[in-house]
Amino acid sequence: MDKGYTNPEVLVTTDWVAENKDNDGVRLIESNEDVLLYMTGHIAGAAHIDWIRDLNDAIRRDYLDPNQFAELMGKNGIGRDTTVVFYGDKNNWWATYAFWVFKLFGHPDCRIMDGGRKKWVDEGREMTKDVPSFAAVDYPVQHRADYKIRAFRDQVLDHIKADQPLVDVRSPQEFSGELLHMPGSPQEGALRGGHIKGAANVPWSRAVAEDGTFKTADELRGIYEREKGLSSDQTVIAYCRIGERSSHSWFVLTYLLGYENVRNYDGSWTEWGNLVGVPIENPSAA
């Protein structure tokens, strides 16, 4: 089914995964919010990428460095020419986060299994608890291209001054300042509630259909463009609380709708809500 995406090749179906999971040139990666979920069962041959342990620096609030990334790839049998297919829980929320980190290092062929873990399970497909082992390979050290797809605090400030669009992908309650974290989660991490001045609220989950797959391009344009006024020729910054939900919206705008200048502000509200003197709008405090 043609859904009208600008880059349809970046998505693969569960059928495609079933047919290609044993292909030596393909590596499946499961990445979940629940880091223990992988051990309860996963697609045969899938490696596990723990977003805390594997992708983040243990001390600094930053990502792994180029040498660490090369080591992570090598031990998972991923070469520079390997097709890496990500999937996970929460409608691929964390799969797109891992995808985004891989793109910080410019890995060429990254894809998402449309529908994620939910669709695979709902279709009754086989799962295993066996943890695969991979022959180590040499992966060349790649410098991170942060400036291309990642926004930092000062760049966000410049973005505001230039009156460029920001997309806050958190829940409406977080956007309004009523909550500091997702509903049902501990309300911690920021001293102030609200949103970055001028941001539009488009919760990340609006991009997903009931079966966990992405909505059609026309439906997505209806949300982002006809409803919120974005256009593909703009420079857009997306953010959430720590940059994970906004990686999902970054993926939608960049790959499914073909926006060429979208960056993920991974400092997000945990950083912005703790800064002194930055522009914040908090309707709940009015």
The residues carrying an active-site annotation are 240
The span from the CA of 56 to the CA of 151, in Å, is: 17
Residue showing tokens 């894809």? 111
Write phi, then psi, for 177 (nearest 5 degrees). 95, 0
User: Is 98 within 8 Å of 31 (Cβ atoms)?
Assistant: yes
Count of residues in the chain: 286
CA distance 106 to 49: 17
DSSP of 61-123:
SSBPPHHHHHHHHHHTT--TT-EEEEE-HHHHHHHHHHHHHHHHTT-S-EEEETTHHHHHHHT
